[in-house]
A = this chain, B = another copy of it.
Amino acid sequence: MKSVEELGERKIIDIILKRLEPMPNMPIAFGDDVSAVDLGNGKLAVIKTDMLVSKTDMPPQMSPWQAARKAIVMNISDLAAKGVRPMALLASLGVPRSLSEQDIEQIGNGLNAGAREYDAYVLGGDTNEASDLVVSCVAFGMAEQSRVMLRRGAKPGDIVAVTGPFGKPAAGLKILLQNLSAPAPLKKKLVDSVLMPKARLKEGLTLAQTGAVTASIDSSDGLAWSLHEIARASNVGFHIDSLPMAEEAIKFANMHGLDPVELCLYAGEEYELVVTVTPSLFERARKKVSLIRIGYVNEEKTLVLKVLKKRVPIEPRGWEHLKTK
């Protein structure tokens, strides 16, 4: 019998999903970023829940305000990736006895700030005692089924694109957790990318309206992992020829002798959208949303990065809870 450390988060999810009877006519398959209920007439009720746990998701420098806001943003990001506007949020809290009244005030304000930033509201929740600070949020929205962007749907020949550069949170986490140094303005940008993540809601909503996107995912487990998830759900492969490395991440990598490609591909806590786009509609989509083309979908079912004419495999790894490295 294996321990959960040997299993890791993804195997745990597999074990659980295998035991759930699927709802008949489930409009969005198990394992996509969100779940949905078919309300008839092409309308879906879209729901997402994602939990922030202080132990693993909250660097010591993150305030309770930032943690509460982040827990909301994490959930909004998943709806954003599907092109669904969040109408309402809920928050269920696990509160350790070590918190103060001021911490609770910060949590209330952070929940509200996160929701209002995206024109949504927190409607309620629940409070319990727990050993860690736990902020488990729920995001709800309504959508036209035909407009929802799923993980599956990428076709060979489609363009792979992202909504922004990658690597800043990986560098920011090295500053926060390993105490690596950086000049003040650079440090602020990198650290802010971790403490104040932004969901790409406007981009997701606009992309869903273009009809150009064939598959979409948010990148909270990292770029490499997100590409693998789309590949797996769509049964395709990716050829990545132009990595979207953030300028600030490259600067930081150079200062510390780190590999900027590693920072860009294999770290979590990113909130850009990763999408595949029908080639003939790409330019039209790019006029509405700032998209960076990074490669194309192929039939080979492999994920490779082309560097200096060499093909380097992109491994299926990224942030994973519980897994001991």
Asked if A23 is at the interface (CB within 8 A of a chain B CB), the reply is: yes
Interface members, chain A 97-132 (any B CB < 8 Å): 97-105, 107-109, 111-112, 116, 121-132
**A18 within 8 A of partner (CB):** yes
Measured CB to CB, the closest approach of chain B to A199, in angstroms, equals 16
- Set B13, B92, B132: member contacting A51, Cβ < 8 A: B92
Chain B positions within 8 Å of A1 at CB level:
100-102
> Which residues of B lie under 8 Å from residue A276 when comparing CB positions?
none
Q: Is the CB of B108 within 8 A of A53?
A: no
In the docked arrangement, what's the CA distance between A57 and B129, Å? Answer: 9
List residues of A (131-170) whose CB comes within 8 Å of B's CBs: 131-132, 134, 136, 138, 140, 142
Enumerate A4-60 residues with CB–CB distance to B below 8 Å: 4-5, 7, 9, 12-13, 15-23, 26, 30-32, 34-37, 39, 45, 47-53, 55-57
Copies in the complex: 2
B97 touches A3 (CB 8 A): yes
A126 touches B49 (CB 8 A): yes
**Choice from B30, B36, B92, B322 contacting A136 with Cβ under 8 Å:** B92
Contact between A20 and B129, CB atoms less than 8 A apart: no
User: What B residues does A97 contact at CB under 8 A?
Assistant: 3-5, 322
**Residues on B with beta carbons closer than 8 Å to the beta carbon of A128:** 9, 51-53, 56-57, 321
Whether B92 lies near A50 (C-beta < 8 A) is yes
Distance in Å: Cβ of A95 to nearest Cβ of chain B? 6
Judge whether A22 and B95 touch: CB under 8 Å. Answer: no
With most chain B CB atoms within 10 A of its CB, the pick from A23, A53, A124, A138 is: A124
Q: From B4, B91, B126, give the contact of A100 (CB < 8 A).
A: B4
Interface size class of A (residues with CB under 8 A): 35 or more
Most buried by B among A9, A30, A108: A108
What's the minimum C-beta distance from A19 to chain B, rounded to whole angstroms? 3
Q: Are A26 and B123 in contact (CB under 8 A)?
A: yes
Q: Indicate if the CB atoms of B12 and A127 lie closer than 8 Å.
A: yes
CB distance from A27 to the nearest CB of B (A): 10
The yes or no answer to A62 lying at the interface (CB within 8 A) is no
Q: A54: shortest Cβ distance to chain B, in Å? A: 9
- Say if the beta carbon of A2 comes within 8 Å of chain B: yes
Is the pair A127, B53 in contact by a Cβ cutoff of 8 Å? Answer: no
Indicate if the CB atoms of A4 and B99 lie closer than 8 Å: yes
Closest Cβ neighbor of A122 among chain B residues: B20
Identify the closest chain B residue to A96 (Cβ). Answer: B4
Q: Chain B residue with minimal CB distance to A88?
A: B37
17 more CB-based (< 8 A) A-B contacts, given A37-B88, A51-B92, A129-B322: A7-B104, A15-B101, A20-B121, A30-B124, A32-B124, A35-B88, A35-B90, A37-B87, A45-B45, A48-B90, A51-B136, A53-B94, A53-B130, A56-B128, A95-B322, A130-B132, A132-B132
